[in-house]
Each structure stands twice: as structure tokens, then as C-alpha cells.
Amino acid sequence: MQSWFTPLLALCLAAMPWLAHAQAKPTRIIVPFAVGGASDTYTRLVAQKITEQTGKNIIVENRTGAGGRIAFDHAAKAPADGSVVVLIDATYAMLPGLFNNLPWDVNTDLVPAAMITQTPFVVMVQTESKIASLADLLAQAKAQPGKLNYGSAGMGSTNHIVTERFKADAKVNLAHIPFRGMSEASLALQSGSLDVVIAASPTAMGPVKGGKLRALAVTTAKRSSALPGVPTAAEAGVPEFITTNWFGFAVPKGTPNEFIQTLREDVARALTAPDVRDKLAAQGAEPATLTTEEFARFVREDTRRWSETIRSSGIKLE
């Protein structure tokens, strides 16, 4: 027995450093947008909690540019071994409607794995505006088509597309004024240069809570816990206008299902932590509870809806 056991033991001992290295191999989570934004904030919040709870080595890397397309393309072509995860959001679902020739297949090359959270968009006006409710906004817009204007973070930006969907659902005509980012659009609204802006809740929360802007409605199916006094758009007169800004993780096609399920379980566990839930709630964000399969269906349906909005509104990017 000893004659074969000793070489086998030596082989196992020799393999142990390799096994330890494999187990310690970090997972990089690619964030398509800059440090400090909602995508970055939610990713780092969850990644840090997963590390605290499991001891796993997770590195968050911001790979910006081209409205997220650089990061998505990089992740889609990365090794499918669990070493690369990418943050996807509502922007990701809008890309097929905006670009005909993406260098990766949105439907197959990245696999939705775990949703993190959903947040409302907030319909806002200047605090001193005579528009006191969404009903007021609708009445004025219908009485004088095209006279009221709205601001966006630029042509093809998320809130540009969301506002075009609002216009269609509410059957109103608002003039579009693009800016170079949401901070500029928000300041223009505060100064009275704009009539309305529809922004994601992390962007809206500061000026609304600070009394600089008035929230007329949120776009989720139910009221936001962070703005409980603000009605939903459905309550306020636009029942079809229900949408969210969402965030989650995807992996390259071919990534082992075991890794995907473990990632989803790690994210779900992180989202149960009281400090994580409190930080999300402060931005009007609700922790997600979707399974991996439900998240994948959600992304497919959201992609279809936004593609229809972009096509019907005639949004084109040069």
C-alpha cells in the first residue's frame, strides 16, 4: 500500500499551491460608467458586502466610454470562467434600439445573472414653478403643444428615452433640450431655464430633498419609500407610464451555471444586510428579488420595450 500511497501523496502536495491559487483568483466586476455614479455605487456596495460575508476576492474596475459599449464589449469577449462580471442597467437594454451594429449580441453574448436593485425615475419641476402636480403639467402641455420643454443628459441618453416614452404614454408634446449631462440639466431646471426633467432617483433625491426641485411623480408601480408623499405617475394620471432604472450583473456566455447561481446567491445574501438595505433606501432603490431566470426575462422584455420607444420616437444617433 505504501508503494503507491507515497507518490500519490507527493502529487497531491505538489498540486496544493495551484489549487490555492485557483481558489484565490479574483473576480473583476466591470462598471461601464464613472466612479461615483449609481452603477458604481451599487456595484461597490454589493461587492464589498460579498467580500465581508464570504471572503471572496472581488475587484471593481471602471471601464468607461461610448455610453457603456466599451465595457460591455470587453466583458462579452472575456474568458467565460467566472473571472469577469459586468454591471448592466437600463442603458444596456436601450443600446439595440440605438445602434444597428453592436460588436456583441445583446441577446446571447452576455448572460444576466443577478439583479441588484430597481429605482424609480422622478418627474420634477422647479420649486417655484406654477406647475404643482402632474395633472397641471399634462393640462398645460396639452393646452399649448410644444411650448413646455424638458432637459436631458444628451441625445440618446437614458432620461431622453424615458421622457420620450412619457410623452407617448401621456400623449403630450414637450420640446427637447439636450445638455452634456444630468448635472447641467438639473441646474438649468433649478434656474428656471427648463420646465421639467425626468431623472433617475439617485440624481433627483438631493435637489428634491434639499427643496430645490419639486417632485411631481415617480415612475414605479408603487410609491417610493424615499419619497412617500409623491404619487406614482399611474396614480397621477398616466397609468401606462410604469418603468424603472435597474442594475444587475451579467457574465460572458458559457460561464458555468454553478458560478452564475453562486453569484446570484451571494448578491441576494448581500442585499439582506441592514446597512446595504438602508443605503439603497436612501436613494429610493429597492433590493431585487428576481431569480436568474426571471432577471433574464426582465432584460429581454425591457430591451423590446425600449427598442419600440426609440423607433417610434425617431431617436437617431450619428
In the chain, where the domains are located? 26-119+245-313, 121-218
Asked if pLDDT for residue 230 goes beyond 70, the answer is: yes
Asked if pLDDT for residue 10 goes beyond 90, the answer is: no
**What DSSP character marks residue 62?**
E
213-218 sheet: strands from edge to edge:
197-200, 121-126, 213-218
Q: How far apart are CA 173 and CA 163, in angstroms?
A: 11
Helices in 172-241 by DSSP H: which ranges? 182-191, 201-209
Confidence of residue 24 (pLDDT cuts 50, 70, 90): low
CATH architecture of 26-119+245-313: 3-Layer(aba) Sandwich (3.40)
In this chain, the answer to whether the domains covering 26-119+245-313 and 121-218 adopt an identical fold is yes
The rounded Cα 85 to chain-centroid distance in angstroms is 15
Mean pLDDT of the chain: 92
pLDDT tens digits for 53-78?
Answer: 999 999 999 999 999 999 999 999 99
Question: What is the per-residue burial (b if ≥16 Cβ within 10 Å, else e) of 286-303?
Answer: bbbebebeebbebbeebb
Query: Phi/psi at 75 (nearest 5 deg)?
Result: -70, -40
Q: How far apart are CA 101 and CA 104, in angstroms?
A: 8
Confidence of residue 97 (pLDDT cuts 50, 70, 90): very high
Asked if pLDDT for residue 15 goes beyond 90, the answer is: no
Do 161 and 225 contact (CB within 8 A), yes or no?
Answer: no
Q: Which of 13, 161, 7 is closest to 89 using CA atoms?
A: 161
Q: Beta-strand (E) ranges in 219-278?
A: 245-252
For residue 132, give the amino acid letter.
A
pLDDT at site 13:
47
* pTM for the predicted model, two decimal places: 0.89
Cell 413646455 found at: 148
How is domain 121-218 classified at the CATH fold level?
A: D-Maltodextrin-Binding Protein; domain 2 (3.40.190)
Confidence of residue 318 (pLDDT cuts 50, 70, 90): low
Average pLDDT over residues 6-14: 47
| Structure-block grid coordinates of residue 17 | 499551491
For residue 230, give the amino acid letter.
V
Do 174 and 194 contact (CB within 8 A), yes or no?
Answer: no
Query: Phi/psi at 187 (nearest 5 deg)?
Result: -65, -40
Asked if pLDDT for residue 316 goes beyond 90, the answer is: no
pLDDT tens digits for 150-164?
Answer: 999 999 999 999 999
